[in-house]
Amino acid sequence: MKITQDTAVTLRMKVTDSQGSVYDDGKHPVSYLHGDYDNLFLKLEQALEGQEAGFQTSLVLATEDAFGERDEALVTTMPKADFPPGIKVGGQIQRIGPDGNPRYY
């Protein structure tokens, strides 16, 4: 079965930065609905379009095709005491954004 619009896809991917730091080791599969639903980077979806089970590739994304340039205005520094108890490195926290909606970090 080829990967096309509205195909449910499960894949494993190793994600590193340009210095080789590993952000995802690929041990846990990722599932998404294919077809420009903002579930994956567009260039990654384009590389997967039309491929079949077992396809393997290596893909390098330019900064603008991934998260974009670092924006210091989006960096927040908080005292450790403001974090919930039991938070761990790599964990996720929820905070209420300025619009009143929850945001996950």
pTM recorded for the entire structure: 0.68
The type of residue at 94 is Q
For the chain, what is the mean pLDDT? 90
Q: What does the pLDDT average to over 23-49?
A: 92
Instruction: Determine which of 2-16, 51-65, 91-105 has the lowest per-residue pLDDT on average.
Output: 91-105
Q: CB-based burial of residue 98 (10 Å sphere; 0-12 exposed, 13-18 middle, 19+ buried)?
A: exposed
| Measured distance CA(56)–CA(75) in Å, rounded | 35
> What pLDDT shows up at residue 92?
84
The type of residue at 85 is P
Higher pLDDT, 95 or 56: 56
Summarised one tens digit per residue, pLDDT across range 38-76 is 889 999 999 999 999 999 999 999 999 998 999 999 888
> What pLDDT shows up at residue 103?
87
